[in-house]
Amino acid sequence: MLHHLLGRDITRKSKQLEGGSGRDSLNDLGPGSCNYGGIKYLFSDWPGIVMIFNGDSLHKFPSTRPRRLRLNRFLRNSVAETSLSTSNLIMPIFVTDSSSPQPINAMPGQFRWPLNEDLLKFVDELKSAGIHNVILFGVTGKKDPLASEATSKNGVVPRAIRLLKQSFGKELVIFADLCMCDYTDHGHCGVVKGSGEDYYIDNDTTLKIYGEIAVNYAEAGADVIAPSGMMDGQVKAIRDALDGDGYENVLIMSYSAKYASVFYGPFREAADSAPRFGDRRSYQMDPRNSFEALKEVAMDVGEGADIVMVKPAMPYLDVVRMVKDSFPQVPLAAYQVSGEYSMIKAAAGAGWIDEGRAVMESLTSIRRAGADLILTYFALDAARMLRNWDSLF
Ligand SMILES: [Zn+2]
């Protein structure tokens, strides 16, 4: 939305606007047009500024033929507006206590990794392909109401972090997903109070535990703490806890706008984290809202988030774009979630779409919408295909 970017300047000078429909400023919303600085702005109903022309005479057929720029792939590559590289990608990894990799049924090609050579070999493969970012999710049978596996030094995630840091050091940036749902017997992301239909998730008690988990992961060697529980104030609680223990250089990537989405379905099998009762709609965002995402992001940035996130990615590309336009100075991640992965896998498995091209088009779309970083289960496949990026489009 251009008026986010230009609004202030143009509004200030709005009295000087010439011609057009007589609007006073870009804040005077509604259909119409105006001229400013030799540029004509056409408006549809808010929020769209639909077209911008450098004067009326440009971009008319036959002097303009957009197809000329698409004549061959060398030309197309020369004028491509969006790029994608391995440094944009983060690979989610499920870690667990088992002796061998366990396939995840609902996510063909994905595994739960044991803390041994198999995991190290897989991460080595990622690194050789150019992927240096991973985000860890713990899968465990050890569950209790307060997620003590997550605050324990011997929890599956801290052990995985130590193992990976020993082997790969700085060459691997370890993001640690921080939530309670993988480790609670009730499957909720925070402390449950009350009972029956009157249960609720106690925000501020949960924050204290999030702080403890963050310090536990940082102590093990995590580079980035990634809170995904959607508790209010979670970034501040984690920043305070980290700083209080001398981890001021550990980053926070917040799942700022995480929607209550059906597309998380396959993940819940992977992480064994489905809520045993109720759902997560009292803390995750309502899919009908987009402006609310700006409030969530603004709060997280104010509390000290280094990177913010929109999740899921593809059904929420409008939100990705809004966040990038409103906070261009803040690195933005988007999570191509398990359901997005499994839909592409299923359609490709049935022979309905070309998997490789679907992967690259979806990732490119997420970048085009404004994401700097993409969490994706396709990271390794994409890294390999990126070697031929110039011949893909
Ligand atoms: Zn959770």
Q: CATH no. for residue 293?
A: 3.20.20.70
Binning the chain into helix, strand and coil, the percentages to the nearest 5 are 40, 20, 35
Query: CA torsion sign, 270 to 271 to 272 to 277?
Result: negative
Written as one letter, the residue type at 385 is: M
The overall average pLDDT reported for the chain is 90
Pick 54 or 278 by higher pLDDT: 278
Give the pLDDT band (50/70/90) at residue 59.
Answer: confident
Residue 124 falls inside a structural domain: yes
* 3 pLDDT above the threshold of 60: no
Q: Total structural domains in the chain?
A: 2
> 159 C-alpha vs ligand 1 centroid, how far in Å?
20
Identify the helix (H) or strand (E) that includes residue 22.
Answer: none
H helical segments located in the chain: 2-12, 73-79, 117-128, 148-151, 156-168, 203-220, 234-244, 265-271, 291-303, 317-326, 338-349, 355-369, 379-386
Told to judge if 258 belongs to the known catalytic residues of this protein, a careful annotator would answer yes
Give the pLDDT band (50/70/90) at residue 324.
Answer: very high
* 73 pLDDT above the threshold of 90: yes
151 and 232 in a single domain? The answer is: yes
* 206 pLDDT above the threshold of 90: yes
* 322 pLDDT above the threshold of 50: yes
Query: CA torsion sign, 59 to 77 to 363 to 107?
Result: positive
Identify the helix (H) or strand (E) that includes residue 116.
Answer: none
Residue numbers of the domain that contains 364 = 86-391
> 207 C-alpha vs ligand 1 centroid, how far in Å?
13
Q: Return the pLDDT at 37.
A: 62
Residue 25 falls inside a structural domain: yes
Q: Return the pLDDT at 1.
A: 42
* Active-site residue, from 236, 258, 324, 345: 258
> 245 C-alpha vs ligand 1 centroid, how far in Å?
24
Q: Return the pLDDT at 20.
A: 43
Can you tell me the distance from the alpha carbon of 265 to that of 376, in angstroms, rounded to the nearest whole number?
15
User: Exposed/middle/buried for 315, CB within 10 Å: 0-12, 13-18, 19+?
Assistant: middle
> 317 C-alpha vs ligand 1 centroid, how far in Å?
22
* Active-site residue, from 142, 236, 295, 311: 311
Q: Return the pLDDT at 196.
A: 85
48 and 130 in a single domain? The answer is: no
> 87 C-alpha vs ligand 1 centroid, how far in Å?
26
Residue 73 falls inside a structural domain: no
> 179 C-alpha vs ligand 1 centroid, how far in Å?
5
According to DSSP, the residues that pair with 32 across neighbouring strands are 43
54 and 91 in a single domain? The answer is: no
Show the tokens assigned to 143. 């569950």
Looking at 15, 42, 59, the residue that finishes a domain is: 59
> 178 C-alpha vs ligand 1 centroid, how far in Å?
8
213 and 282 in a single domain? The answer is: yes
